[in-house]
Homo-oligomer: A and B are copies of this chain.
Amino acid sequence: MAIMVDNETSSSPAGGAQNDSSSSNETPTPGPHRDGRRSSRYRHVAAYHSQQRHSSLSRDSNDSPSFLGFRNLAVIVLVAMNLRLVIENYMKYGVLICIKCHDYRKQDVVLGSLLFALVPLQLFIAYVLELAAAERAKQTVGRTKKDDSAQEGERDQRAVRNIWRFALSFHILNIVLNLTVTSFVVYYYVHHPGIGTLCEVHAIIVALKNWSYAFTNRDLREAMVNPAAEFPLPDIYSTLPYPRNITLRNLIYFWMAPTLLYQPVYPRSPRIRWSFVAKRVAEFLCLSVFIWLLSAQYAAPVLVNSVDKFRNLAYASILERIMKLSPISLIIWLAGFFALFQSALNALAEVMRFADRQFYTDWWNSPSLGAYWRSWNRPVYLFMKRHVYSPLIGRGYSPFLASTIVFTISALLHELLVGIPTHNMIGVALCGMLAQLPLIALTAPMERVKGPSGRIIGNTVFWVSFCVVGQPLGALLYFFAWQAKYGSVSRMEN
């Protein structure tokens, strides 16, 4: 094969000789060179080999050539290889997509809808709590104004702290109740993992919002009772000072806004561009259908075929299955990321006139796992930073310990999010999240390496650990656990 092309013949096409100036510098070539048409004699003696030259891939060569063409080739081969898999899949399975085949039970839909309707009530309870706390604080401040002494100030602070202890215990009860009831219902009564996941995500989002609402209002309350010049509140809050922000309208805005951080005031965009909303919604719908097609046609057969391999612990086959699944899960993941963080959150933000749209930064370039977790999901990252990490640092915890606590909380929430809807608390999501800590420590030095090679190594570790191995392995493990528990191959991946 290689020899066949050894002597492949090449030549200049129309006008080619003129383009190629590198070898014609000492030769009477045709065209506009030298004396024009008169130079038409003695062509065969042209000294094309007239100077020392190095092969461009040799080390002797001073200017390394561009390799942009190989980037194009990589993309082409990726497309071609996947297209081949599409054809192979079609020849093997035909069309697996079936709109009427969804086997969710009526009970699932009813319970899911009920949960979706009831969970936000938690925020109403939080509102009532905060309203009472604000009333109590206003009374304290009113008394302080009359009687302004150092002793009084201390007593006020103690009073505010008492209010907080009281409010906190109810908030915690509220949050725990919400998560427990949702998880209990989903685990025992909602069979379909898709519906279960939606309910669980909703409950966790509302719980985190409640947490943020409670703690932010506590600090606002303390700042009102004990205003200190050296700790000014952010300027942006001055238009709505505490306790004027404790209104149902303000809370409903926070409930709907694409953020987990409660602020009395947010930066707002001037108007709603409905065409922008329509485009984002269309993107979201198209990508959702795309993900569904990929799952049903490509991911499902791989998952089904891998159950036996897991049962027999055939490691080479399991590895092969992970690698077969990884491009599919990667595309689903990228499409899902775009659908949620770009399309859905931007659409929601536009409708809410919420101006801070930085829901993610360029996580795909992450030189380390740490950079990835800081950039891919900004709403949760900012929540953890403001309400867990920073307060712990403020209490004197070391950054390492604070990070460990953050990732432990995160790991528990992940386990809830995946284990409950799949009815298998097997701890894979928990371990996956906790495994981030050593990976972060391992790749952290890559951020500080000068030159591109460190960043490339860190980025490669990120992609391989997270997307190429981590996610498909997790999906396979939960699918296997599901099969072990329920036996028949179900449409889990829809």
Contact = CB atoms under 8 A, between A and B. Distances in A.
B55 A359 contact: yes
Nearest to A392: B30
Contact of A45 (B237, B320, B342, B354): B237
5 tightest Cβ-Cβ pairs between the two chains A and B: A2-B336, A9-B410, A47-B234, A30-B393, A69-B364
- Taken together, the copies of this chain in the complex come to 2
A360 interface: yes
Contact of A335 (B2, B230, B360, B493): B2
Contacts of A60: 357
Interface in A28-58: 28-31, 35, 38-58
A263 B47 CA distance: 7
Interface centre among A10, A23, A73, A336, by most B CB within 10 Å?
A10
Contacts of A316: 87, 90-91
Interface in A391-409: 391, 393-395, 398-400, 403, 406-407, 409
Nearest to A393: B30
A261 B317 CA distance: 55
A446 to B, nearest CB: 12
Interface residues of A, number: 190
B51 A356 contact: yes
A286 interface: no
A141 B370 CA distance: 84
Interface stretch (A14-22, A96-104, A147-155, A482-490): A14-22
Contacts of A204: 7
Nearest to A30: B393
A252 interface: no
